[in-house]
């Protein structure tokens, strides 16, 4: 194609790295350079060129992730006041605070892509953005809180470890710290269940009951099956995703079943080790239930959003005070410089 653009490919690439705005004529070159950097396992940074689809996908995924961390505080937070011992209470408070921190990193990382946290929160409260369906299930007893740590945080780690190598730098870096904390969450839950399994028959029944209710929904945390997963192949190409939903789900099942056996809970009969593949077969999941919960049908769905609306309203005075203080500081700084 004829062009009046006399820059070399190297010059274009250098400008792309610096995020210099350019004409639409250069889009092909920019996209090729962008993909080449991803193929070479380089990170994409906020001011770098990126295709709109990449940006949109990341904003959707990172904000869903942030919302899941924040909404995920609710089913466990309501047990802080009812934890059975001081030790368990301290661990649970630390865990719930970690989840708040994860949400804040992720909102900040998503903001580097140009969408404000206020807008992301608005989308959540308006029902336009999703969060993990698992948090729409109720925590009916203490054992559920421990099982969430073991299974839900365990599934989260399985999902998130590959994200430490995601192509978008701020997301990948946030995930490194998040995964370390998730590992603590998973261990504390499993350890608490081990203690319960050394207890009374009633405690053992509680653990089994929790496992039975949370196991299948935790497998659904990996999303729909590959055959029905909308954005998968493009996300793999962009290295936003490194493994498919089904691969990660299988990895989680393979890690979890031996843990369940060591714990002493009975696993569903349908789960059997396949001697040929050396993986556990687990049959079909109830995708109708998954879709019903995704569409807002979970038992606690409206309760979760109401809680977040109340938190936003209750925090208005804090945000106002912080803004007023920041303004005052700025005025003082300007005055001191004059
Ligand atoms: Fe988390
Ligand atoms: Fe966690």
Cα of 69 to ligand 1 centre, how many Å?
Answer: 5
Cα of 176 to ligand 2 centre, how many Å?
Answer: 13
The ligand minimizing its distance to the Cα of 155 is 2
Rounded to 10°, the helix 153-160/245-263 angle is 140
**SS3 assignment, position 280:** strand
Give the integer Cα–Cα distance in Å for 133 and 150.
17
Q: For residues 30 and 22, is the Cβ–Cβ distance under 8 A?
A: yes
Cα of 101 to ligand 2 centre, how many Å?
Answer: 10
Write the DSSP string, 209-278. Answer: HHHHHHHHHHHHTT-S-GGG-TTHHHHHHTTS-SS-HHHHHHHHHHHHHHHHHHHTPPPPTT-EEETTTT
Q: For residues 82 and 146, is the Cβ–Cβ distance under 8 A?
A: no
Cα of 300 to ligand 1 centre, how many Å?
Answer: 19
Cα of 1 to ligand 2 centre, how many Å?
Answer: 53
Per-residue pLDDT of the chain (338 residues; tens, 9 = 90+): 444 455 566 666 666 666 655 555 578 889 999 999 999 999 999 999 999 999 999 999 999 999 999 999 999 999 999 999 999 999 999 999 999 999 999 999 999 999 999 999 999 999 999 898 899 999 999 999 999 999 999 999 999 999 999 999 999 999 999 999 999 999 999 999 999 999 999 999 999 999 999 999 999 999 888 887 766 788 999 999 999 999 999 999 999 999 999 999 999 999 999 999 999 999 888 888 878 877 767 788 889 999 999 999 999 999 999 999 999 999 999 999 88
The ligand minimizing its distance to the Cα of 152 is 2
Cα of 189 to ligand 1 centre, how many Å?
Answer: 13
Cα of 251 to ligand 1 centre, how many Å?
Answer: 19
pLDDT of residue 133: 85
Cα of 100 to ligand 1 centre, how many Å?
Answer: 8
* Spatial CA neighbour of 44 closest among 171, 160, 148, 143: 171
Cα of 31 to ligand 1 centre, how many Å?
Answer: 33
pLDDT of residue 1: 43
Cα of 149 to ligand 2 centre, how many Å?
Answer: 7
Cα of 152 to ligand 1 centre, how many Å?
Answer: 10
């Amino acid at each position: 194609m004829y062009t009046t653009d006399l820059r070399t490919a190297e010059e274009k690439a250098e400008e792309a790295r610096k995020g210099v705005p350019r004409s639409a004529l250069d889009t092909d070159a920019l996209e090729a350079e962008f993909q080449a950097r991803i193929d070479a396992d380089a990170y994409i940074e906020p001011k770098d060129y990126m295709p709109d689809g990449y940006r949109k996908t990341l904003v959707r995924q990172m904000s869903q992730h942030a919302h899941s961390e924040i909404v995920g505080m609710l089913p466990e937070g309501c047990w802080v006041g009812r934890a059975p011992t001081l030790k368990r209470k301290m661990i649970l408070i630390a865990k719930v605070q970690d989840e708040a921190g994860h949400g804040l990193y992720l909102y900040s990382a998503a903001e580097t892509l140009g969408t404000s946290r206020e807008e992301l929160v608005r989308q959540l409260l308006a029902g336009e953005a999703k969060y993990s369906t698992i948090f729409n299930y109720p925590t009916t007893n203490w054992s559920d809180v421990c099982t969430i740590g073991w299974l839900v945080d365990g599934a989260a780690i399985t999902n998130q470890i590959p994200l430490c190598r995601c192509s978008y730098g701020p997301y990948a870096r946030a995930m490194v710290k998040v995964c370390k904390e998730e590992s603590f969450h998973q261990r504390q839950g499993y350890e608490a269940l081990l203690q319960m399994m050394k207890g009374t028959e009633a405690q053992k029944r509680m653990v089994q009951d929790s496992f039975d209710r949370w196991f299948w929904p935790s497998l659904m945390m990996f999303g729909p099956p590959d055959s029905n997963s909308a954005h998968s192949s493009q996300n793999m190409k962009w290295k936003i995703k490194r493994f498919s939903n089904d691969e990660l789900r299988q990895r989680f099942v393979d890690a979890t079943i031996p843990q369940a056996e060591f714990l002493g809970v009975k696993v569903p009969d349908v789960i059997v080790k396949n001697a040929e593949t050396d993986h556990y077969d687990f049959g079909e999941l109830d995708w109708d239930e998954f879709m019903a919960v995704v569409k807002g049908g979970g038992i606690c769905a409206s309760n979760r959003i109401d809680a977040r609306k109340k938190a936003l309203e209750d925090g208005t005075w804090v945000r106002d005070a912080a803004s007023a203080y920041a303004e005052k500081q700025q005025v003082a700084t300007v005055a001191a410089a004059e």
